[in-house]
Amino acid sequence: MEKKDKNIGIELITRHLSGESNAAEEKELQHWLAADPDHITLLDQYSSLWEKLGRVQSVAGIDLDAEWHILESRMAEGEKMITLQPGRKRRASFYTGRIAVAAMLAVILTFSGIYLASRFGYRTLATTAQPEELVLPDGSTVTLNHFSSLKYPRRFAGEIRNIELDGEGFFEVESDPDHPFVIKTRDVDIKVLGTSFNVNAYRENAAVEVIVKTGEVAVTRHGDIPKTIILKPGNKGVYKKNNETLKITREIDRNYLAWKTRNFVFEDQTLFDVSQQLNKVYQAEIIIASDSLKEARITTTFNDQSLDAILNVLSATLDLDVRKSNGQIILSETN
């Protein structure tokens, strides 16, 4: 009986503290408090707890996975932090200071939107050697290629479905015209309403490439003079980092999705080209022993096969010797 009474009290206290109780419940709470001095102690404790929790409010949403990911990559880069140096000369100090602040801001921004986003409960998926598939809170699906990362909210709030990509991903976005889906990358933003497309935005690449499979996609270049292009199915948008140009082309590598599907179509391609594509998709290191062999031409298709199966086909077709050593795969002509 007593325990049940206490539980009722805790329910009343909970409603009271969380701002859910109506006038009748507030009255009920007062009656309950008046019944036993211990009840008052209990309310004191809960109120104190409620208030003290406020102290950690600003850090409660920190995404430790994301933060660790940032630190880990900085550890790997062995990157030196930028320290704020005040100007030596009095006169110059104002400007030096401003520059230092700008540099600090740049560093903060470089270490990505996680900083701002994590407050609102962001998660990060970071892949290593294997691509991974992910369903976002709105039902959209993303396949993330190797060594890529995607930051996305625990739930989409507000008008725009914002996510951030570093690396390569194939997106199938749930249609929702009222809530545009925006993928932010370092150099360009990609805005869509509901469609499927591939984004290749590895930081180290010289260009960002967006290839549209279905629907329409808008790609916007960052910078002082933003520029937007609209891509339709079969279009590829290319942003070149060196001259900051953003252009549409129709030259699409037919195997652009092979990293996801492992389906390849090769038509009269050199063995060297084939090996390059296989290396990228399978994270392999195929080496062709002779220059003449690099120029050997091949026409074939592969559908989601293992690298070994593919090597068997190549070896049978071109009469090759396949040798594995120290993680490398060496292709040579049979003697």
Positions touching another protein (CB under 8 A) are 10-11, 13-15, 17-20, 26, 29-30, 33, 40, 43-62, 64, 67-68, 70-72, 74-75, 78-79, 81, 83-87, 93-94, 96-98, 100, 104, 107-108, 111, 115-116, 119, 154-155
CB neighbour list of residue 191: distance below 8 Å, 6 or more residues apart: 180, 181, 182, 183, 217, 218, 219, 220
Cα 59 to Cα 64, 112, 114, 117, 150: the distances in Å are: 10, 18, 13, 12, 21
Cβ closest to another protein, residue 42 vs residue 330: 42
Q: Are 47 and 17 in contact (CB under 8 A)?
A: yes
Q: Which residue's CB is nearer to another protein, number 110 or number 245?
A: 110
Rounded-to-integer distance, Cα 73 and Cα 45, Å: 43
- Helix (H), strand (E) at residue 31: helix 23-35
Least distance between another protein and beta carbon 140 (Å): 17
Q: Using the minimum distance from each CB to another protein, give the nearer residue, 85 or 175.
A: 85
Comparison of 66 and 271: residue with beta carbon closer to another protein: 66
**Least spacing, CB of residue 225 vs another protein, in Å:** 27
Tokens of 66: 């994301």
Cβ atoms of residues 241 and 206 within 8 Å: yes
Nearer to another protein, 98 or 241 (CB): 98
**Residue 162 beta carbon to another protein: minimum distance, rounded to whole angstroms:** 17
CB of 121 to another protein, least distance (A): 8
49 vs 265, beta carbon nearer another protein = 49
Shortest distance (Å) from residue 5 CB to another protein: 14
Residue with Cβ nearer another protein (16 or 191): 16
Q: Please identify, using beta-carbon distances, which residue of 4 and 52 lies nearer to another protein.
A: 52
Q: Which of 104, 103, 101, 169 is nearest to 136 (CA)?
A: 169
- Cβ-based neighbours of 15, under 8 Å, separated by 6 or more: 21, 25
Furthest-apart CA atoms within the chain: distance in Å: 98
Q: How far is the CB of 107 from another protein (least distance, A)?
A: 7
As a whole number of angstroms, the distance between CA 138 and CA 143 comes to 15
Shortest distance (Å) from residue 123 CB to another protein = 12
Contact present, 124 and 63 (Cβ < 8 Å): yes
Rounded-to-integer distance, Cα 103 and Cα 97, Å: 10
Return the bridge partners of 320, or none. Answer: 333
Smallest distance from another protein to CB 18, Å: 5
Per DSSP, 4 falls in state: H
Phi, psi of 153, rounded to the nearest 5 degrees:
-80, 155
